Amino acid sequence: MGVLRRRWAVPLLWAALLAVALLGGARGSGDGAAVYIVTMKQVPVSHKRLDLESFGSSGVAGGGGGGKGDNPATSILRKPRHASPKFVNYGSLLVRLQNSLLKKTLRGEHYIKLYSYHYLINGFAVVLTPQQAEKLNRRKEVANIMLDFSVRTATTYTPEFLGLPEGAWVQDGGPQCAGQGVVVGLIDTGIDPNHPSFADDLTADNYPVPAHYSGNCEVTSDFPSGSCNRKLVGARHFAASAITRGVFNASQDLASPSDSDGHGTHTASIAAGNHGIPVIVAGHHFGDASGMAPRAHIAVYKALYKGFGGFAADVVAAIDQAAEDNVDIISLSITPNRRPPGLATFFNPIDMALMSAVKDGIFVVQAAGNTGPSPKSMSSYSPWIFTVGASAHDREYNNYVVLGNNLTISGVGLAPGTDGDSMYNLIAAPHALQNYTTTPIEMSLGECQDPSHLDKDLIKGKILVCSYSIRFVLGLSSVKQALDTAKNVSAAGVIFYLDPFVLGFQLNPTPMDIPGLIIPSPDDSKIFLSYYNDSLVRDGTSDKVVNFGAVAKILGGLKPNYGSSAPKVMFYSARGPDPEDNTLANADILKPNVVAPGSSIWGAWNSRGLDSAEFTGESFAMLSGTSMAAPHIAGLAALIKQKFPSFSPAAIGSALSTTTILSDKQGNPIMSQRTYSNPDSTQTPATPFDMGNGFANATAALDPGLIFDCSYDDYLSFLCGINGSAPVVANYTGNSCGASTMTGADLNLPSITIAVLNQSRTITRTVTNVASDENYTVSCNAPYGAAASVAPAQFFIPSGQKQLVTFVVNATMTNSSVSFGDVEFYGDKGHRVVIPFTVMSKAV
């Protein structure tokens, strides 16, 4: 399963089988017992605390957000969180009540309680039979019962090679302080605590563990005492649901925060790895790595595992713990394996726990998912979650093979070139067998997996040509093994051509310690092979090859090239519109929120990491996926949090959203790959459904000018606005829906998205000035098929104040196609605040 997860790209069929297997796994064993997530009616600790604290708190300058139900005291300002004994007691009371409920209801019966949740949600995970679940469901104390479900990481591999993450922190203070005092919590596969990216021997300077963080470090034999430090401030693991299902393999998955996969180590380093750590892979130095917020602190909550992914019950436990420990940011590079069933996608235990986390002031980032490129393929749904898609930027590691006929073919491979200008003879493995034969030979021989059949004298000094077949995709053959073969027979280099059966597969970025490359295009592979074949001289009678006439040289791919093509949204990055439910109705909410680098990203790696055969034994790996994009944003959020400690989660998201980049330096638009095979041939300009507000710009996000804020009460009103939601809202949140409801379009988001425009609609937004006094001009470009007016079109806004802006949107034609426009706020002090404006179906 690890192989499928890693290389999901080819075997879509396999992916479907995997999903079935996981669903099967969700059932548990024997008598139909399964893991259930049960929530209770009494409010959890965090809500209890916030409710008490909101008494007696006074309004604060610069505070306040927009939308209905706006409450200045609880919006932009985030109160310092602390665990006073009162709340510790309340937490233990909740746990006692949970236990006594189970005891009373299931007297004398067998059940296994896996977790108590008490901080963000009041509930528990428990293994029950359906009959037991029914009994619990009848208790008045119980609010909601839901089957546990599976989740997965969102990593993949792609052919383009990008450079190191850009030093976004350079702006103020430099790497010496970027992100200091902010704790980023990662829900992932754990961490390698010994990696230099997480060391804290940063001389004797002032780098305390932030006082607000109260988490601790689990100690096990493979995560010994001393694994945590001032950088890695907390580490826990959550596996009860996985263990109960019998899918947990202790020797591989490790019941500790230790990362046997590599994914969690990689994402943690992207968000907040130390600055200036040399990336040395296969003996080559690829530059120095740095996290986005190199001085931010890392807290690891392991709830994902290599073999099987993870389960909601474990993920919710991790989120609950992270919030109780007072992390500032939660980053999830994970998505559910299928769209949550029920009334709306938003109502699932993970999104609900995260909504509670947002209420508690925690900024929540999630990968969009690798389920693109078709519309509505989004795997992250809720407006309180900041959803990140993956893009490539224009730095690539290219290598080429120049053939004797002067043709140049480009390839992939983190490998050196052949020496100088010399040309080398090419020899394909099937033509280099010790016992030359023209009869059909085993496929694996052409894949150079075994030197024992090869004629060393014949190959010595030549470039060995190997076939990259489906067996590589399935992990049965490997590039590493072929390189060992080539070295064994003293080849001058290796060239892999793509076997024609490997269609649409995205090649892994593979480090090579001898000259080499992989030709990723099937068409180029054909050209290469026909040159090779046409240059062979065969014996007239035996058909044996007597002369290998083809020659080539390899130009190395160790140095990055800076292309001029615009950044592009990767085909695998999940796309909007945001599906509101399983009928795929469109939500009035823009997803993804932004895109960030996710393609071929260098990050720290556990040298024992199992997730990528190519990087086994290395301390850095280059991975791709929306998994890599999300921690970029988590790191940038840490920088914003450091600069504006009082920003609410929505304000941080707004700063990242309204300041994005929409075109490259030449003014060309950001592109979007549209197909799964030959993605570069189908690029067209990206829309907000591909890239949300655009490509995040760290520098600009630190000076956003205006902020669109949104509160928990707003999100609640939005959920209550979903037809028939009142009982579900009550079950999940304990709040009853009142008269105040709103649609997604009414939420004070930094975007306007209208799924159905019936004649006319009035939309309001409230902006808050987080810079100094400024005059703004608003310009509104209505989407095709709609006309819109804005009032006021100009306004003066003092620092810390708010301004209401009203848009009247009229349909001008009946048309069910999506169309896009935008709204731009130009400040006379240089701020430019841009939000996308999307209308789907229109009726006059």
Ligand X SMILES: *[C@@H]1O[C@H](CO)[C@@H](O)[C@H](O)[C@H]1NC(C)=O
State the minimum distance, in angstroms, from the CB of residue 158 to ligand X: 22
440 binds ligand X (CB under 6 A): no
762 binds ligand X (CB under 6 A): no
Interacting residue with ligand X among 20, 93, 476, 843 (CB under 6 A): 843
Q: How far apart are CA 458 and CA 471, in angstroms?
A: 26
Interacting residue with ligand X among 607, 646, 801, 819 (CB under 6 A): 819
DSSP 785: T
745 binds ligand X (CB under 6 A): no
State the minimum distance, in angstroms, from the CB of residue 533 to ligand X: 4
Interacting residue with ligand X among 29, 131, 374, 405 (CB under 6 A): 405
Residue among 229, 34, 58 nearest 148 (CA):
34
530 binds ligand X (CB under 6 A): yes
Q: How far apart are CA 333 and CA 303, in angstroms?
A: 11
Binding string, residues 361-390; x marks residues near ligand X by CB under 6 A? ------------------------------
Q: How far apart are CA 567 and CA 664, in angstroms?
A: 7
Q: How many CB atoms lie within 10 A of CB 79?
A: 16
Q: Is 690 helix (H, G, I), strand (E, B) or coil?
A: helix
State the minimum distance, in angstroms, from the CB of residue 277 to ligand X: 25
Nearer to ligand X, 145 or 749 (CB): 145
Catalytic residues: 188, 263, 627
775 binds ligand X (CB under 6 A): yes
Interacting residue with ligand X among 533, 561, 684, 740 (CB under 6 A): 533
171 binds ligand X (CB under 6 A): no
Residue among 763, 778, 796, 792 nearest 833 (CA):
778
Binding string, residues 113-142; x marks residues near ligand X by CB under 6 A? ------------------------x----x
Q: How many CB atoms lie within 10 A of CB 160?
A: 24
Which uninterrupted H or E stretch holds 820? strand 819-827
Residue 672 structure tokens: 């979007």
561 binds ligand X (CB under 6 A): no
345 binds ligand X (CB under 6 A): no
Binders of ligand X among 476-495, rule CB under 6 A? 488
Interacting residue with ligand X among 107, 421, 723, 739 (CB under 6 A): 723
Task: Determine the length of the chain.
Answer: 844
Q: How far apart are CA 495 and CA 515, in angstroms?
A: 9
Q: Give me the DSSP letters along 521-547.
A: -HHHHHHHHHHHHHTEEE-TTT--EEE
Nearer to ligand X, 417 or 783 (CB): 783
State the minimum distance, in angstroms, from the CB of residue 747 to ligand X: 18
Nearer to ligand X, 793 or 808 (CB): 808
Residue 428 pairs with which residues in a beta bridge? 465
Residue 794 structure tokens: 């100009």
193 binds ligand X (CB under 6 A): no
Residues 515 and 416 sit within 8 Å (Cβ to Cβ): yes
789 binds ligand X (CB under 6 A): yes
Interacting residue with ligand X among 84, 131, 699, 777 (CB under 6 A): 699
781 binds ligand X (CB under 6 A): no
Q: How far apart are CA 608 and CA 225, in angstroms?
A: 20
State the minimum distance, in angstroms, from the CB of residue 815 to ligand X: 4
736 binds ligand X (CB under 6 A): no
Residue in this structure with the two tokens 């006319």, named with its chain if needed: 760
Interacting residue with ligand X among 374, 547, 668, 758 (CB under 6 A): 758
State the minimum distance, in angstroms, from the CB of residue 54 to ligand X: 27
The count of chain residues that interact with ligand X, using the rule CB under 6 A, is 45
Which uninterrupted H or E stretch holds 757? strand 752-758
541 binds ligand X (CB under 6 A): no
Binders of ligand X among 251-290, rule CB under 6 A? 251-252
Residue 789 backbone dihedrals phi, psi, to 5 degrees: -115, 155
Q: Is 339 helix (H, G, I), strand (E, B) or coil?
A: coil
Binding string, residues 141-160; x marks residues near ligand X by CB under 6 A? -xxxx---------------
Interacting residue with ligand X among 33, 700, 737, 834 (CB under 6 A): 700
Nearer to ligand X, 66 or 123 (CB): 123
660 binds ligand X (CB under 6 A): no
810 binds ligand X (CB under 6 A): yes
Interacting residue with ligand X among 89, 100, 408, 760 (CB under 6 A): 760
Which uninterrupted H or E stretch holds 240? helix 240-244
545 binds ligand X (CB under 6 A): no
828 binds ligand X (CB under 6 A): yes
Residue 745 structure tokens: 């379009």
Interacting residue with ligand X among 788, 805, 823, 834 (CB under 6 A): 788
State the minimum distance, in angstroms, from the CB of residue 137 to ligand X: 5
451 binds ligand X (CB under 6 A): yes
Which uninterrupted H or E stretch holds 467? strand 463-468
State the minimum distance, in angstroms, from the CB of residue 8 to ligand X: 21
Which uninterrupted H or E stretch holds 832? strand 832-843
- Backbone CA torsion sign across 254, 258, 263, 264: positive
Residue type at 759 in one-letter notation: Q
Query: Residue 455 burial by CB count (10 A; 0-12/13-18/19+): exposed, middle or buried?
Result: middle
Interacting residue with ligand X among 675, 731, 735, 764 (CB under 6 A): 731
Interacting residue with ligand X among 728, 752, 757, 835 (CB under 6 A): 728
678 binds ligand X (CB under 6 A): no
Which residues touch 33 (CB under 8 Å, ≥6 apart)? 127, 128, 129
DSSP 725: -
801 binds ligand X (CB under 6 A): no
State the minimum distance, in angstroms, from the CB of residue 372 to ligand X: 21
State the minimum distance, in angstroms, from the CB of residue 223 to ligand X: 18
Nearer to ligand X, 74 or 478 (CB): 478
Residue 16 structure tokens: 């479907």
172 binds ligand X (CB under 6 A): no
Residue 549 pairs with which residues in a beta bridge? none
Residue 366 backbone dihedrals phi, psi, to 5 degrees: -135, 145
Residues 231 and 198 sit within 8 Å (Cβ to Cβ): yes
441 binds ligand X (CB under 6 A): no
State the minimum distance, in angstroms, from the CB of residue 490 to ligand X: 7
E strands in 154-293: 183-188, 232-237, 277-281, 284-289
DSSP 80: P
Residues 770 and 726 sit within 8 Å (Cβ to Cβ): no
668 binds ligand X (CB under 6 A): no
State the minimum distance, in angstroms, from the CB of residue 212 to ligand X: 30
Give, in order, the Cα–Cα distances in Å from 259 to each of 92, 294, 709: 31, 20, 37
Stretch that binds ligand X, among 89-97, 571-579, 686-694, 812-820 (CB under 6 A): 812-820
Residue among 297, 288, 238, 305 nearest 268 (CA):
297
Residue type at 249 in one-letter notation: N
Residue among 458, 450, 472, 454 nearest 426 (CA):
458
Q: How many CB atoms lie within 10 A of CB 170?
A: 13
773 binds ligand X (CB under 6 A): yes
Contacting positions for ligand X (CB under 6 A):
137, 142-145, 249, 251-252, 405-406, 435, 451-452, 488, 530, 533, 661, 697, 699-700, 723-724, 727-728, 731, 758-760, 773-775, 784-785, 787-789, 796, 808, 810, 813, 815, 817, 819, 828, 843
